[in-house]
Structure 1
Amino acid sequence: MRTRWRAALAITAAAFVLAGCSAAENGASTADSAGSARVPAAPQQGTGGTGKTEQGKGTQVTPPQAGATDRKLSRSARIDLTATKVVDVVAQARGIALSAGGYTGQESTADESATLSLAVPADKLDPVLDQLAHLGTAMVKRELNTQDVTEQVVDVEARLTTQRASVARIRALLSQATSVSDITSIESELTSRESTLESLEQQRNSLAGSVAMATVAMSIRSVAAPPPVQEESAGGFLGGLAGGWDAFLTFGGGLLTVLGAIAPFLLIAGPLAWVGWRLNRRRRAARPHPEPTEA
C-alpha cells in the first residue's frame, strides 16, 4: 500500500516539474516574441527621394553616413587643340592658368607644335577646361580623370601617428641610456625611425598636393589658316560697273607694269634715237638739190 502511495506521489511530482518547465519555456518564448515585436523596423527610403518614411503618423529621417561627402579626390585632365598660331595659344593658356590661381609646369614650344603642363586648383578645373577648349581653331580631344585617394590618405595618417609615437619612445630611451654602446644602438634606431617618419610626411604632402591642385596636360598642333570666304558679286548695273572697274584696275596695273619694265631702256635708247634723227636731218639739209632742166 505504501509502495503505491509513494509511486503516485513520485508521478505527481514529476508532472508538476514538467508543467513548470513547459510554462517557463512558453514564458521565455513569449517574452522573446514580445521583445522582437517591440524592436522598431529599419527605416526605409520613401518613394519621393527625401529619405523619410511614414510610421503611423510620424516621420523619420535617415542621417547621411559619416564621411560620405568627405572624399579625397585627385583630378587630372588632358586637352588637345589645333591652332594657326601656336605661340599665341600657349600665351593665352598660361594666362588662364595664372588667373585661376595656378601655375605652369613643363613647357615645350616650337613653330609647328607645343606641349605644356598646367596646375590649377581642383575646384576650378572644370571652368578652366571650358576656357581652354575655346582656344585655337578646334578641340581634338578632351579627357578628365578622377582618382579616389581617401584610403591612401587615411592609411598614411595612421602610420604617421604610430611612427611619431615610436620616435618619441626611442627618444625617451635615449635620454635614459648611460653606456656608450646603448647610446650608439639607440641613436642608430632613432635615425632609422626618423627617416621612415620623414618619408611618410612626404607621402602625405604629395597626396595633399594632388588633392588640392589638378593637373592639365595640353597639346597644341599647328594647322593652315582656312581660305577667306569670297563674297558673291552683285548682279545688274552695279555688278557690271564693279566688274568693269576691277577690269580697268587690272589693265591699268598691267600697263604700268609694262611701262616700268621698259622705262630703263627708254632712258638709254630715247636720247640715242633723238641724236640720230638730228644728224640725219642735217645731212639731208647739206646735200645740193639738183636744178631742174629746161625742156
Structure 2
Amino acid sequence: MRTRWRAGLVLAGVVLVLAGCSAGENGASSTADSAGVAPAVPQQGTGKGGAEKVTPPQAGATDRKLSRSARLELTAPKVADVVAQARAIAQGTGGYTGQESTAEDLATLNLAVPADKLDGVLDQLSHLGSSSLVKRELNTQDVTEQVVDVEARLATQRASVARIRALLAQATSVSEIASVESELTSRESALESLEQQRNSLAGSVAMATVALTIRGVAAPPASPGEDHSGFLGGLAGGWHAFLVFGGGLLTVLGAIAPFLLFIVPLGWLGWWVHRRRRVTAPEPTPSES
C-alpha cells in the first residue's frame, strides 16, 4: 500500500516538473515575442578588418555644361598700354578680341578665352602693369538641361526629316512631290535652327567671355620716402627752388608791367624838368653871399 502511494507521489512530482518547464519555455518565448527581439544579423564594416561601405557618386554629377562670363573694371595712367596687354593675354591663351572701343581716357573691349583658362586670365588682367582693380564679377550658368533638350529635339527632327525624304522618294505625281518637298523644306529649316542652338550652346560652354573696362587716371605722385640726401639731392632741391623763385619773379614783373608803361615816362619827365631848372637858375655871386 505504501509502495503504491510512493509511486503515485513520484508520478505526480514528475508531471508537475514537466508542466513547470513547459510553462517556463512558453513564457520566455512569449516575452521575447512581445519585446520584438529579432535575430542578430552580422554587420559588415563595424570591425577593424571589415570592409567599409562606400556610396558611389551619382552618374553625370561631374559632367555639367557650364557657361561662364566675367566683368572687370580697371584704372590705369595709360589706357592704350593696358588694352594692348589685355589683347596679348587673350591671344596667348588661344582666345581672341571681340568688340572694342578705345579712347584716350576710356576703353571697353570684349575678350573670348577658353573656359578652363578663365580664372588664370582674370588673375593676369587684374594685375596689368600699373593698373588698379576696381571691380571683378564672375557669372556661371548651368546649361546642361538646355543641351540635353536640344540634343533630344535634334534626334527627333532628324528622324522626321528622314521619313519625309523617304516619302519624297515614293511620290509619283507632281502634286505629291510638291506637297512633300514643301514639308521637307519646313522640317529641314527647323533642323537647321536646332543645330544653330546646339552650336551656340557648345560655343558658350567652350569659350568664356570677359567684358573689360579701363578708365584713365592721373599718374600717382612720387613716393614720400624717396631719398633726397647727398650732392645730387641738394642740387635737385636748389634747382627746384630756383625755378620756383624765378617763376614767382616773372609773375610779379608781369603783374606790374602795365603800370611801368605810365610810371617810367612820368618819372623820366619829372627828372628832365628838374634838371632844366637847375641849369637855367643863376648862380649866386660872392657879394650876394
Give the letter for the 2:95 counterpart: G
Q: Residue 112 in 1 paired to residue 105 in 2?
A: yes
User: Who is 1:173 aligned against?
Assistant: 167
Question: 1:126-275 residue pairs with structure 2 within 5 A?
Answer: 126-135=119-128, 136-230=130-224, 231=226, 233-234=228-229, 243=234, 247=238
Give the letter for the 2:196 counterpart: Q
Distance 1:179 1:120, change over 3 A: same
Q: So what's the TM-score if we normalise by structure 2?
A: 0.64
| Alpha-carbon displacement from aligned partner over 1:21-69 (angstroms, at most 9, x marks no partner) | xxxxxxxxxxxxxxxx99999xxxxxxxxxxx82563322211111000
Q: How many residues align?
A: 205
Q: So what's the TM-score if we normalise by structure 1?
A: 0.63
User: Who is 2:79 aligned against?
Assistant: 86
Give how far 1:249 is off.
9.2
User: Who is 1:95 aligned against?
Assistant: 88
Give how far 1:165 is off.
0.2
Q: Residue 70 in 1 paired to residue 63 in 2?
A: yes
| Alpha-carbon displacement from aligned partner over 1:174-231 (angstroms, at most 9, x marks no partner) | 0001111111110000000000000000000000000000000000000001111253
Give how far 1:113 is off.
0.1
d(CA) in 2 for partners of 1:185 and 1:87? 60
d(CA) in 2 for partners of 1:91 and 1:213? 21
Distance 1:249 1:98, change over 3 A: closer
Give how far 1:86 is off.
0.3
Question: 1:16-31 residue pairs with structure 2 within 5 A?
Answer: none
Distance 1:172 1:82, change over 3 A: same
Give how far 1:250 is off.
6.3
d(CA) in 2 for partners of 1:40 and 1:104? 66
User: Who is 2:277 aligned against?
Assistant: none
d(CA) in 1 for partners of 2:40 and 2:65? 41
Partner-residue secondary structure (3-state), 2:74:
strand
User: Who is 2:287 aligned against?
Assistant: none
| Alpha-carbon displacement from aligned partner over 1:139-197 (angstroms, at most 9, x marks no partner) | 00000000000000000000000000000000000000111111111000000000000
Structure 1: tracts of 5 or more residues without a match: 1-36, 42-52, 259-295
Give the letter for the 2:151 counterpart: E
Of the three residues 45, 49, 56, the one matched with 1:54 is: 45
Give the letter for the 1:86 counterpart: V
d(CA) in 2 for partners of 1:67 and 1:74? 17
The percentage of aligned residue pairs carrying the same residue is 73
Contact 2:153 2:194 in 1 (8 A): yes
